[in-house]
Structure 1
Amino acid sequence: MTRQWDVLTTAAVIGSGLLSGVFFAFSAFVMSGLRRLPDPDGAAAMRSINVTAQRPPLMIALFGVSALCVAMIVRAMVTWPQPGAAWLLAGALLTIAGGLGVTVAVNVPLNNRLEAGAVTWSRFVAGWEPANHARTVLCLLGCAVLLVGAVRRL
């Protein structure tokens, strides 16, 4: 069973890094590019991005990594006295909090409000960007902490 757990742990580390990279792209240059557009154009572009984001590549990454992190939580709890267990638990929780938690609690509701015309572009950006920065950092930290957990198990 150890080999399967090692594969799942490796996938969780890579997946957490992948999510962090996606969120980083938005923080580093996508949102900056959209803010350079006139407000109606920036909002329209973001609405278009939101439609394409709801397709399998991102949804599989987001929910698949979250599922892998749940598996890491189980692994950590089942093997608690072993080296790295606490690291796996912490890394999985950080990744779930950032990848799924912030997305569901902040980014998706803002996206829905933008789609419904219930928020101005400037107010959308003012709330969406800090939340995106948070999920970027949380997933990156989750990746690093999961990696420490994996290495400590060797």
Structure 2
Amino acid sequence: MTTVFLLITAVLTALIAGLFYAYSCSVVLGLGKLSDMEYLKSMQSINREILNPVFFMSFMGTAILLPVTTFLFRGEQPAFLFLLLASAAYLIGVFGVTVAGNVPLNDMLDKFDINSSTADAISQMRGNFENRWNLLNNIRTVFSVISIVLVICACIWNKYFPE
């Protein structure tokens, strides 16, 4: 049973790492080429559409299953340690950064009325949003990749060096 939890945890962690990686190396680069108005409208649309069950299953599922799987592997060294570090990296560097950083920026952008704003206000909003959001996303990317690497280490250790 613990192996099933480990496998599901690995898949969900990999899905989230892939999502943030794809944003970092393609989505934000493409959006960065848009005009201020196009950029803000695109980010508003993306931020609204990502709030769906598939995203929440992987994002929240990872936040729940990493600690649960870590608990299930207590006493199995070093798999437990790999999972504990993966949980800490995810909960602080991915979940925490998202909740404390990206979500407030997304909420600020969501409340911004692009259509009735001046060009200067639109430019200022982009300036207040884009670089900070991209930096936070890059942090999430790094920590989600660290998390999946550590989960993979736990998987390998569990398969080749079981207790």
TM-score, reference length from structure 2: 0.85
**C-alpha distance in 2, partners of 1:30/1:81?**
40
Aligned length: 149
Deviation at 1:17, TM superposition (A): 1.2
**C-alpha distance in 2, partners of 1:72/1:11?**
9
Which residue number in structure 1 is paired with residue 106 of structure 2? 111
Deviation at 1:81, TM superposition (A): 5.2
Instruction: Please tell me the residue identity of whatever aligns with 1:99.
Output: V
Instruction: Say whether the 8 Å CA contact 1:94–1:139 is kept in structure 2.
Output: yes
Aligned counterpart for 2:156 among listed residues 140, 148, 151: 151
Aligned counterpart for 2:25 among listed residues 28, 43, 47: 28
Superposition CA RMSD, Å = 1.6
Deviation at 1:75, TM superposition (A): 2.2
Instruction: Say whether the 8 Å CA contact 2:67–2:84 is kept in structure 1.
Output: no
Give yes or no for the alignment of 1:100 onto 2:95.
yes
Which residue number in structure 1 is paired with residue 116 of structure 2? none
Which residue number in structure 2 is paired with residue 42 of structure 1? 39
1:1-154 alignment, distance < 5 Å: 4-76=1-73, 79-80=74-75, 82-117=77-112, 120-154=125-159
**C-alpha distance in 2, partners of 1:12/1:46?**
29
**C-alpha distance in 2, partners of 1:36/1:83?**
45
Instruction: Say whether the 8 Å CA contact 1:69–1:93 is kept in structure 2.
Output: no
Q: 3-state DSSP class of the match of 1:82?
A: coil
**C-alpha distance in 1, partners of 2:72/2:87?**
10
**C-alpha distance in 1, partners of 2:92/2:11?**
17
**C-alpha distance in 2, partners of 1:65/1:133?**
18
Instruction: Say whether the 8 Å CA contact 2:20–2:141 is kept in structure 1.
Output: yes
> Aligned residues: percent identity?
27
Instruction: Please tell me the residue identity of whatever aligns with 2:108.
Output: R
User: Structure 1 stretches of 5 or more lacking a match?
Assistant: none
**C-alpha distance in 1, partners of 2:76/2:138?**
34
Instruction: Please tell me the residue identity of whatever aligns with 2:101.
Output: V
Instruction: Please tell me the residue identity of whatever aligns with 2:149.
Output: A
Deviation at 1:8, TM superposition (A): 0.8
Q: 1:81 to 1:55 in 2, by over 3 A?
A: closer
Instruction: Please tell me the residue identity of whatever aligns with 1:142.
Output: S
Instruction: Please tell me the residue identity of whatever aligns with 1:16.
Output: T
Instruction: Please tell me the residue identity of whatever aligns with 2:71.
Output: V
